[in-house]
Structure 1
Amino acid sequence: MNEFNTYLNNLDYSLIKDLCERKGKVRTYRKGDFFIRQHEKKRFAGWVEDGTFQYTHIDEEGEEHIVGYSFTNEYVCDYSSFMKGSLSWVSIQAITDCSVYEISSHDIIEYWETDMETQRLGRCVAENLYEMVYERLLDSYCSPEIRYKRLMERCPNLKEAVPLKNIASFLGVTPETVSHIRRKLRK
């Protein structure tokens, strides 16, 4: 579902995928297992061979918000915790059984420093992640209907992959609002 994580667009990630498969270790996560919990550190990323992860953030009032997903053939990690060793801002939890090739930040950084092409790839990953986060920030100023339309244009199969209440949480609205938007768009 590469259309969800737009940072994957326009880049050839096969080199990093190959590195994960070569140097990484296969790890199985059962539905409900955590890849990382909010406020923990994890210096590993993973290539999702199979399965789906959900990213959540618990705010100061204890409310949980869905902030992202990683699907089969995508990467899973909290980028700042992975690269800088800082505390994670999110929890990443398997919402299906998952098989992941995990690789350490040390191995990725060492790889990115091998030549100019891999340095460029590392820089492009960071730039694309920044662009995706910036787009998400600007989306927060749009109406719920526009946010829903953009999400469905980008990721038309999402409604089959995750429940309505999770899509609503991702959009920052109630499930009833999403149902209302869907009814309106069907007319």
Structure 2
Amino acid sequence: MMNFNEYMNGVDFSGFKKLFLENGKSIEFKKKDYFVRQNEPCKYVGLVQSGIFRYTRIDNEGDEHIVGYSFTEDFVCDYPSLIKHSDSLTNIQAVTDCSVYVLSMKELNDYWETNMNTQRLGRLVAEEHFIEIYRRLLGFYCETAEQRYISLLKRCPNLPQYITLKEIASFIGVTPETVSNIRRKLRHR
């Protein structure tokens, strides 16, 4: 599967991943365990060795919205919470049993401060995150649900093997019925 999180495509993370494998603490999460809960501080950034995490946000009416995923070989973290030492904006929950190598914010900062190359990498990571979030924002403002669905499946063609139609609908901001109608329409083209 191509990377669900597009920022993973724009940066060489090999040295960074090596840091997690050599210095990170290995933690196992069972299906439905939380990496972090909304409104609690995120204490770690993790490299997912195996499994899938779902990012959700509970709105003021108590409705849950799927806002992201982390798959194997991706990173898992509520990054704003980690860097600002604030409460998490999301719940991050294991969809499957997961194995993760984690680092604390101190360990991450120590790595960024190693030399100019690691500082550049830190800047690139932040830039790529910004670009991805900006593209998602523009997609919600400027694309139809069908266009968002097609774009998502072009990027991750096997995604329906890992997450449900209901979750795909939540991620692109529509009802499951709308996704079913989009699929039906696309099959008849």
Q: Quickly name the TM-score band, shorter chain normalised.
A: over 0.9
| CA shift for structure 1 position 17 | 0.8
Query: Residue in 1 aligned with 2:118?
Result: 118
Among the aligned pairs, what percent are the same residue?
A: 55
User: Secondary structure, in 3 states, of the residue corresponding to 1:140?
Assistant: helix
TM value normalised by structure 1:
0.98
Query: Residue in 1 aligned with 2:55?
Result: 55
Q: Aligned partners of 1:50, 1:91: CA distance in 2, in Å? A: 19
Query: Residue in 2 aligned with 1:173?
Result: 174
State the 4+ residue runs in structure 1 displaced beyond 2 angstroms.
none
User: Secondary structure, in 3 states, of the residue corresponding to 2:65?
Assistant: strand
Cα displacement string for residues 85-137 of structure 1 (whole angstroms, at most 9, x for unaligned residues)? 11111000000000000111111111111111000000000010011111110
**Structure 2: which amino acid aligns with 1:178?**
V
In 2, are the aligned partners of 1:2 and 1:8 still within 8 Å (CA)?
A: no
TM value normalised by structure 2:
0.97
Query: Residue in 2 aligned with 1:94?
Result: 94
| CA shift for structure 1 position 2 | 4.3
Query: Residue in 2 aligned with 1:144?
Result: 145
- Write the mapping of 1:60-99 to structure 2, written as runs, cut at 5 A: 60-99=60-99
**Structure 1: which amino acid aligns with 2:88?**
S
Cα displacement string for residues 118-168 of structure 1 (whole angstroms, at most 9, x for unaligned residues)? 000000000100111111100102110001011111111111110100000
Q: Aligned partners of 1:43, 1:2: CA distance in 2, in Å? A: 28
User: Secondary structure, in 3 states, of the residue corresponding to 2:88?
Assistant: coil
In 1, are the aligned partners of 2:48 and 2:101 still within 8 Å (CA)?
A: yes
Cα displacement string for residues 56-111 of structure 1 (whole angstroms, at most 9, x for unaligned residues)? 00111111000000000100000111112111110000000000001111111111
| CA shift for structure 1 position 10 | 2.1
Query: Residue in 2 aligned with 1:161?
Result: 162
Q: How many residues align?
A: 187
User: Secondary structure, in 3 states, of the residue corresponding to 1:100?
Assistant: strand
In 1, are the aligned partners of 2:32 and 2:94 still within 8 Å (CA)?
A: yes
Q: Aligned partners of 2:32, 2:72: CA distance in 1, in Å? A: 17
- Identify unmatched segments of 5+ residues in structure 1: none
User: Secondary structure, in 3 states, of the residue corresponding to 1:8?
Assistant: helix
Q: Aligned partners of 1:8, 1:2: CA distance in 2, in Å? A: 9
In 2, are the aligned partners of 1:43 and 1:83 still within 8 Å (CA)?
A: no
Cα displacement string for residues 36-56 of structure 1 (whole angstroms, at most 9, x for unaligned residues)? 000010221100000000000
92-101 or 40-49, larger mean C-alpha shift: 40-49
- Identify unmatched segments of 5+ residues in structure 2: none
In 1, are the aligned partners of 2:10 and 2:128 still within 8 Å (CA)?
A: no
